[in-house]
Amino acid sequence: MARGAFIVIEGLDRSGKTTQIAALYEHLISLGKKVEQIKFPDRTTAIGKMIDAYLKSQADIDDHAIHLLFSANRWESVSKILKLLEEGTTILCDRYAFSGIAFSASKGLPFDWCKTPDVGLPEPDMVLFLDVSPEVAQERGGYGEERYEKEEMQKRVREEFVRVRDCGGRSLRWEVVNAGRAKDQVELDIRNATQALFNGVEGPIRRLWA
Ligand code: FDM
């Protein structure tokens, strides 16, 4: 039996990630596929609660320490991810290690240092990067209240995402989707890009940057 596909959706705030993941999820359900949505940070765990307090500016945590907590928050989900994939369930994952590097590096932490704690995580079969300019994002109703939701930061993060893509390694499939267009167009592009994965993937799950 083919294992489930591991699909990660990345992008800036207001790029439509949540809407598009929900749409792809519904599409897969309508096709009778086994599919689960996960998201990082997972704010429900003990580590996730520390991250949540940090993002809401209720706690101050050193930049290095919070970076490691974001990574630990992924590692604590690895057994669940592997189990779902082995059972043949497709995973739609909202943010992953790529956000981890892009956000921390944009604060000035060394790029390679940021990458290290995530080396060896399950590698996604595809990363969809929903690209939207910070200006369009701002037009969509502005950013929220959380720590990183500011135009200057989002601009720097977008630049860092390009570096993250370029360090992806040979096997990583990274698709850029122009998310500055109408919702339905973006939805169609995403469906087309992911369609080949709907029936699962042959071969073992690879490890990120390992
Ligand atoms: N973020 C997210 C990081 O800084 N590092 C990470 O590893 C991850 C997964 O946390 F601003 C940032 C990105 C974003 C915030 O927001 C989480 P959402 O709205 O829960 O995606």
pLDDT digits (tens, 9 = 90+) for 82-103: 999 999 999 999 999 999 999 9
Alpha-carbon torsion angle 188, 130, 16, 109, nearest 10? 170
Q: Tell me, in angstroms, the distance from the centre of ligand 1 to residue 40's CA.
A: 7
CA-to-CA dists, residue 11 to 15, 111, 117, angstroms: 6, 18, 21
Q: Tell me, in angstroms, the distance from the centre of ligand 1 to residue 31's CA.
A: 31
pLDDT in tens, 143-192: 888 999 888 999 999 999 999 999 877 789 999 999 999 999 999 999 99
Q: Tell me, in angstroms, the distance from the centre of ligand 1 to residue 1's CA.
A: 34
Q: What is the mean pLDDT of residues 4-9?
A: 98
Helix axes 46-55, 63-75, angle to 10 degrees: 140
Q: Tell me, in angstroms, the distance from the centre of ligand 1 to residue 175's CA.
A: 20
Q: Residue 139: what pLDDT?
A: 85
Q: Which atom of ligand 1 is nearest to the CA of 97?
A: 7
208 close to 120: Cβ distance less than 8 angstroms = yes
Q: Does domain 6-195 have CATH number 3.40.718.10?
A: no
Q: Tell me, in angstroms, the distance from the centre of ligand 1 to residue 51's CA.
A: 9
Helix (H, G, I), strand (E, B) or coil at 37: strand
Q: Which atom of ligand 1 is nearest to the CA of 104?
A: 4
Q: Whose CA is nearest to atom 7 of ligand 1?
A: 100
Distance between CA atoms of 2 and 143, rounded to whole angstroms? 40
For ligand 1, residues with CB inside 6 Å are 40-41, 55, 70, 95, 99-100, 103, 148
Q: Whose CA is nearest to atom 20 of ligand 1?
A: 41
Q: Tell me, in angstroms, the distance from the centre of ligand 1 to residue 99's CA.
A: 6
Q: 35 forms bridges with which residues in the sheet?
A: 90
Residues present in the chain in total: 210
Q: Whose CA is nearest to atom 8 of ligand 1?
A: 100
Q: Which atom of ligand 1 is nearest to the CA of 94?
A: 21
Q: What is the mean pLDDT of residues 41-47?
A: 98
Residue 48: count other Cβ atoms within 10 Å of its Cβ: 19
Q: Is the pLDDT of residue 134 over 90?
A: no
Q: Is the pLDDT of residue 138 over 90?
A: no
Residue 103: count other Cβ atoms within 10 Å of its Cβ: 24
Q: Tell me, in angstroms, the distance from the centre of ligand 1 to residue 140's CA.
A: 19
9 close to 132: Cβ distance less than 8 angstroms = no
Q: Which atom of ligand 1 is nearest to the CA of 43?
A: 20
Q: Residue 89: what pLDDT?
A: 98
Q: Which atom of ligand 1 is nearest to the CA of 17?
A: 21
Predicted interface score ipTM higher than 0.85 = yes
